[in-house]
Structure 1
Amino acid sequence: MSQQHFDILIVGAGISGIGVACHLSRECPKKSIAILERRQAIGGTWDLFRYPGIRSDSDMSTFGYHFKPWTESKVLADGESIRNYVNETAEEYGIKKKVHFGRHVKQASWSSKQKLWTLTVHNEATNKNEKWTANFLLGCTGYYNYDAGYSPEFPDQDKFKGQLIHPQHWPENLDYTGKRVVIIGSGATAITLVPSMAGTAGHVTMLQRSPTYIAAVPSIDFAYDAMKKVLPSKVAFGLTRARNIGLQRAIYRLSQKNPKAVRRLLLAAVKHQVGKDVDMRHFSPSYNPWDERLCVVPDGDLFKVLKNGSASIETDHIERFTETGILLKSGKTLEADIIVSATGLNVQMLGGTEVIVDGEKLNPNDHLMYQSIMVEGVPNAALIVGYTNASWTLKVDIAAEYLCRLINFMDKKDYKEVVARDLVGYKTEDTVMGSIHAGYIRRAASTLPRQGSQAPWIVLNNYLADRVTLRKSTFEDGILSFDGRVPKAKKGLFKFLGK
């Protein structure tokens, strides 16, 4: 079995893995780095998903890396543009040559005696296992299963004679011209697919069990456009990014403090755009804004196709599939040539890798997250998970900065091992995704790391607070253990936020 050693191994070459690698190349240039990517391309989610209309659901000034300004004026970018952006970033920072494709990490085992991670990696080209070792392991695989999306078994679905598709595995060159399409779901994927397919398809129906909050945003940031004409591009980008970070946070906080007011505003905006002929019960969720992620539509594209009749919404439950479509609980039948099951994702941490620490298999649900980055009790490792209430990449940037600071601190002190330990017992029943109540999170509750009752074990989902903490906090906080010893905490250098 071949063996290779690096100072730092990154699992995943998506937007998180490439971003972290760029930070390391800038801040820790002497460290040897390799990225293990199971697929044959950079981009992660943005290379995997190829369904019509695939786009970001966050504005690109905050979804892009802070060190690599997004220069286009599009507020939400399509999948190809994001894929190109990630590839361009990897090329610019010399990261592309560090990516090893077709490498499926099966197991990662830590030895405290050797101060070393040993990874069993399957090379899908040779069909043989390889051994990779590293001093530090960074998981950048996102939080869902790339092999299969969530596909519930519908009654009598085998009787349907048309095509049944999951967006995660969209058929190449699918021809839906003039066909009747039913899209099951009400999340970001369904809301993207409906306007993208309407007009080409004969008719598109979005079938939802319950509604989602939807907000229209302009497709072009005209203020950013104007600033770029009179200001240096980096200044224009910085101002736009700061504005959008502030807006994101303000809307989220208002939703938490006064959900009824935000609900009224959201529903009034929808009613104005869909017109009087569309039933508002299709847009009136039973939960409060931001209990689940808010969906956005550029220039109200979804509302336009509903208004012109090329698409429609049904809010109902499925009784069973028929040969020609779906029979609803209400007794209504939806005729379909193609059914798209946009029913969500299966959550999976670290790409399904088995993690072993000193001979014991890790169950993430038994552990807390320190600073929302390090898994309690797991040495020399980090798990990069972005925000659920703001742009994913905002968290990637500051988490990467924190890790670079930590690695350089350890080198300065000649430490070989760092581990966060909860010596008090702050564990709660909430998971790290506790603020989001979506079905895919509830299904995965038993596999996700836990939250604590006090910082730094709380997942704040607050970029402004996290940015201060992760950039300024001391590592000698009485919690982090280095080489088996916990340095005496330095007072005044670390503020516990969110207590």
Structure 2
Amino acid sequence: MTQLTDVLIVGAGISGINAAYRIRQARPDLTVTILEARDTMAGTWDLFRYPGVRSDSDIFTLAFPFRPWQGRDAIVGGEEIREYVLRTARETGIDQLIRYGTRVTSADWNSAEGRWHVDGYSARFLVLCTGYYDYENPHDPEIPGTSDFAGEIVHPQLWPEDLDYTGRRVVVVGSGATAVTVVPAMAGRAEHVTMLQRTPTYVLARPRRDVVANALRKLLPAGTAHRVARAKNILGQWLLYRLCRRYPDRMRALLRKGVVATTGSAEIADRDFAPPYAPWDQRLCIAPDGDLFTAIRNGSASVVTASIDRFVPEGVRLEDGRVLPADLVVTATGLRLKLLGGIDVRRDGAPVDLSETVTWHGTMLSGLPNLAVCIGYINLSWTVRADMTARLIARILGHLGEAGMDVVEPVAPADLGELAPFMDMQSGYLRRSAHLMPRAAGHYPWSIRQDVMADARATNHADLTDGLCWSKVSQGVRA
């Protein structure tokens, strides 16, 4: 039997729980249902269990704006984040809205009914909070010779619970946020950890604790202190990003100076932490308290910048002929993109090509009525953008009720000019799937700029008549 609901949210991670809270806050009269494919909530923070798993974003910007963070650290481990998400869902009653073990495979908009039909559910409005990567299948670089290797190969996304790396020689393949996290976390127990990278990444040492935020919490009520600390850190991250984009050479020199200071070696800085691209062409990685640099300096870890030839029985052979001995290889080689959770999205039975849609304020897609997509920032904390999107969705739902309308659909004009992928950054996992993404123009409302100040001005004050077509199903009246 088909189950009816007003709003159907797919995904019970940070985005889904945040969206449910904002929607119920604005429209308590609507029924809200959350579908989650796994048997627990928290999404990424329940899935990833590799050593040291943490967020690259500070917790004051990653946390829900409506629930203050009470811990001491600002850079927080995955388990703490997971517990925080679970507590928030329980205390707000959102945990009662979740239907676990329900994997969504298809969603079809029925124009005659003005409803989405989603694997046994029928909803007036659909919100996809599925993230943007494949939970089951990480990116496989397909390094030759895996069957020849005498040791063990694991991917951080599929980390075995019983894996013991004590006293083992470990090679971590990759240089992104996961590798930068795993290497110092494993260095304390392994015999030695080598980070093997083809191309360096910019890494910034950052204090694990936010002394200003902790001081604010002694002086102000918890909610006020959280909001001030959040605003401070959003501004700081935005300024760092803007400085990197505007003054790349100066920021490159400043980042190099930090690496030299923490590793004690200009040679290491120039060989292993000097990418060929400008800062923030790809995501900047964070080393809490400089833990990666500390491990390099004390000799428990090292970095090798070279290309891989193949696996050999004793380890990894490089193109220059060197062999890195290994008992365990960790392939921290990135994610595989899965847009909208891999859901087969249709309109009146006809499949929709997402690459032919255009984003409206990063929240809705042209040609898809009553559907919203929640994608966080890739150059800032995920939750900052996710909450901006959730509040806009709540406004849209509020206007549907106030105007007595049933349907809202973004209709993109024909003269938008040059379009680009709506997540436009040079990171490998984004480049590999750029051709599949919805498009974005260079101006609002058909844009998402990865610029929190510009996006906030445009999105928080979005004109709901600009680019959106409102109608009633029964009478065909448009507004």
| AA of the residue aligned to 2:378 | T
Q: Tell me which residue corresponds to 1:195.
A: 184
Distance in 1 (CA, whole Å) between partners of 2:239 and 2:266 is 33
In the alignment, which residue of structure 1 is the partner of 2:348? 358
Match of 1:401 in 2: 391
Q: Once superposed, what is the RMSD of the aligned Cα atoms?
A: 1.3
In the other structure, the counterpart of 1:272 is: 261
2:54–2:78 contact (8 Å) kept in structure 1: yes
Contact 1:43 1:83 in 2 (8 A): yes
Where 2:330 maps in the other structure, the secondary structure is: strand
Q: Deviations over 1:327-354 (max 9, x none)?
A: 1011110010000100000001111110
Tell me how many residue pairs correspond in the alignment: 475
Alpha-carbon distance between aligned partners in 1 of 2:238 and 2:9, rounded to the nearest angstrom: 30
Give the CA deviation at 1:241.
1.2
Corresponding residue for residue 476 of structure 1:
465
User: 8 Å contact 1:27–1:404 — kept in the other structure?
Assistant: yes
Structure 2 residues without counterparts, runs of 5 or longer = none
More moved, 250-259 vs 176-185: 250-259
Secondary structure at the counterpart of residue 61 of structure 2:
helix
AA aligned to 1:4 is: Q
Contact kept, 8 Å, 2:406 with 2:470, in 1: the verdict is: no
Match of 1:28 in 2: 27
Alpha-carbon deviation of 1:359? Answer: 2.1
Structure 1 unaligned blocks of 5 or more? 121-130, 488-499
Name 1:106's counterpart in structure 2.
Answer: 105
- Match of 1:440? 429
Q: 1:427 to 1:149 in 2, by over 3 A?
A: farther
Aligned to 1:303: 293
Partner of 2:169: 180
SS at match of 2:440: strand
Question: If the length of structure 2 is used for normalisation, what is the TM-score?
Answer: 0.97
1:3-402 pair list within 5 angstroms: 3-120=2-119, 131-276=120-265, 279-280=268-269, 281-402=271-392
Structure 2: which amino acid aligns with 1:207? Answer: L
CA distance in 1, matches of 2:274, 2:467: 48
1:416 and 2:406 equivalent?
Answer: yes
Per-residue CA distance 1:404-449 (angstroms, 9 max, x = gap)? 1111111111100000011233163410111x10111111012111
CA–CA separation in structure 1 for the residues paired with 2:468 and 2:216: 45
Which residue in 2 is equivalent to 1:125? none
Q: Is the 8 A contact 1:428 1:450 kept in 2?
A: no
Q: Is residue 456 from structure 1 mapped to residue 455 from structure 2 by the alignment?
A: no
The alpha-carbon deviation at position 358 of structure 1 amounts to 1.6
- 1:127 aligned partner: none
Moved more, 293-302 or 237-246: 237-246
Residues in 2 aligned to 1:270 and 1:299: alpha-carbon distance in whole angstroms: 12
Deviations 1:94-130 (A, max 9, x none): 110110111010110001111010012xxxxxxxxxx
CA offsets 1:122-154 (integer angstroms, 9 cap, x no match) = xxxxxxxxx111000000010000111001111
State the distance in 2 between where 1:485 and 1:438 align. 45
Q: How many Å apart are 1:394 and its aligned residue?
A: 0.5
Q: Percent identity?
A: 42
Q: Secondary structure at the match of 1:477?
A: coil
- Deviations along 1:238-275, one digit per CA (max 9) or x if unpaired, are 22111111111111111111111111101111111001
Is 2:405–2:470's contact at 8 Å kept on the other side of the alignment? no
CA distance 1:411–1:295, change in 2 (3 Å): same
Q: Conserved in 2, the CA contact under 8 Å of 1:364 and 1:449?
A: yes
In 2 relative to 1, CA 427–139 (structure 1 residues): closer, same or farther, beyond 3 Å? Answer: farther
